[in-house]
Chain A
């Protein structure tokens, strides 16, 4: 039911924007169409170990393809409409409107956008689907894993020159309702009162970025098995009936205050490129761990080739829903179960990635990447390839 609703909302919004652009008073104006494409695949060296980057098969699979189309039209001198539609192979090429918004150019240096926008969590969030704009095949997944990419709301974006520095400032307010899969468990998420700020300062070849977001998050998990005999919902029922009923709220994600903080640095001198990012994502009073993730990347260009190496790390802090329950022989199984639930949500991983990007011609890049993954659940080596383009 929820799935259908979300789909209808997405299509409705896309149709509305398309309608605006096709209306008679827009026909005379400029309509810009641009697009991007990524075709790629990969394989792992041990299919009995962990999956990484969407790959878990020793045979080469080409299932990471996407095609994006963006149409923007000038409604009048100050107002434009934009819709970005993306079809992904791992979504059966269902066309969805990832973005659809109206822009009001308030001044030369500031604009207000209303509609479905990309949430500016990370340094590469804005153009995450446009692989052509960065060195990797896809951004390090230790950080770039949040399923909540977009938000319905309003934002304000301002650029300005401070002396010889270029700065930008973005602030937004909104909410979302989304279905996703969290390590094999399907869930529905809803955010309320979501707001955030992202700011950059830079000059010539470097840019510093910082962002902070917060929301009241609710996640409803489908019932899943904790053990062969007990499901998640059964366990919660038992907990509710126990003297420790107030612990239920420390497990569930129910309008819990959620925060996301990020700092990043991006460098491109033409010859050398480098990037580093650090994030913390915390859903208070829930069984989800506090995610602490970072990476550092360095690379060098030689002619049409860019060679790069990246070290990424996940070092989460497990939740402690058992806190406050007195330890005794009777409570030991309960404490054990709560700790086991929390332990499933932590990621402890070191990944080294080596890659090369070849600019075949203007607008087309061929990329190869090798990831050496060392996870607390296993090891993995991943080989992947992609052809990425903008047009």
Chain B
């Protein structure tokens, strides 16, 4: 309870702070993907490079939106628990040691949706308002 309360408070703070009161973010995969829902923790592990496949074992390719996208900032704060600077520092540690590569910057809401709609291995996140039948929503935030 307390955790949810604090999480909501944090979400509120972020949303009010970045003026994104209407932004609802949907995590999407290809309609034929063999996964119907993922927890925030499972999504975070994929996007933080800690796991490379969906819980059922099929390979996953996470896609980022471009640096500076409001959807990306909400997603990273909510799912990965990192501000843009902390997110950059986290990945710099892995990149400059050859120990990991961040999800590819793949454009805006429309570009990510189009990529995910075309590849059953991909997982991305978009503003919920752009979701249509070409993709499947497996998680919604906040």
Contacts and interface: CB of A to CB of B under 8 A. Distances in A.
- A and B co-occur in one complex: yes
Interface in B74-111: 81-89, 92-93, 95-99, 101
Given A36-B92, A270-B86, A103 B98 contact: yes
A82 interface: yes
A166 B83 CA distance: 22
Contacts of A77: none
A130 interface: yes
A126 B92 contact: no
A333 B82 CA distance: 63
A238 to B, nearest CB: 48
B16 interface: no
Contacts of A157: 99
B104 to A, nearest CB: 9
Nearest to A360: B85
B14 to A, nearest CB: 12
For the residues of A in contact with B, the DSSP-based class is strand
**Contact-residue bracket for chain A:** 20 to 34
Contact of A82 (B51, B53, B87, B98): B98
B5 to A, nearest CB: 16
Contacts of A127: 92-93, 96-97
A125 to B, nearest CB: 9
A19 interface: no
A108 B52 contact: yes
Contact of B96 (A34, A134, A268): A34
Contacts of B96: 34, 36, 68, 70, 84, 126-127, 129-130, 133, 390
Contacts of B67: 362
A130 B98 contact: no
A72 B50 CA distance: 21
A118 interface: yes
A129 B92 CA distance: 11
Contacts of A68: 96
Nearest to B87: A362
A365 B85 contact: yes
A189 to B, nearest CB: 24
Contacts of B53: 108
A159 interface: yes
A229 interface: no
Nearest to B86: A270
Contact of B95 (A70, A103, A270, A365): A70
Interface string B24-50: 000000000000000000000000001
Given A130-B92, A159-B50, A161-B51, A362 B98 contact: no
Contacts of B51: 161
Interface string A363-381: 1010000000000000000
A118 B52 contact: no
B120 to A, nearest CB: 18
Interface in A33-76: 34, 36, 68, 70, 72
Contact of A32 (B68, B99, B101): B101
Nearest to A304: B85
B85 A359 contact: yes
Given A103-B98, A166-B50, A126 B88 contact: no
Contact of B99 (A126, A161, A304, A390): A126
27 contacts: A34-B96, A36-B92, A68-B96, A70-B96, A99-B98, A101-B98, A103-B98, A113-B98, A126-B93, A127-B93, A130-B92, A130-B93, A130-B96, A132-B89, A133-B96, A134-B89, A161-B50, A166-B50, A270-B82, A304-B85, A359-B83, A362-B67, A362-B68, A362-B85, A362-B87, A362-B88, A363-B88
Interface of A: 32, 34, 36, 68, 70, 72, 82, 84, 99, 101, 103, 108-109, 113, 118, 126-127, 129-130, 132-134, 157, 159, 161, 166, 268, 270, 304, 359, 362-363, 365, 390
Interface of B: 50-53, 67-68, 81-89, 92-93, 95-99, 101
Instruction: List 3 tightest A-B contacts by C-beta distance, closest first.
Output: A126-B97, A359-B85, A362-B84
Given A82-B98, A108-B53, A363-B88, 18 more contacts: A34-B95, A70-B95, A70-B96, A99-B98, A113-B98, A126-B96, A126-B99, A133-B89, A133-B92, A134-B89, A159-B50, A161-B50, A270-B81, A362-B68, A362-B85, A362-B87, A365-B85, A390-B92
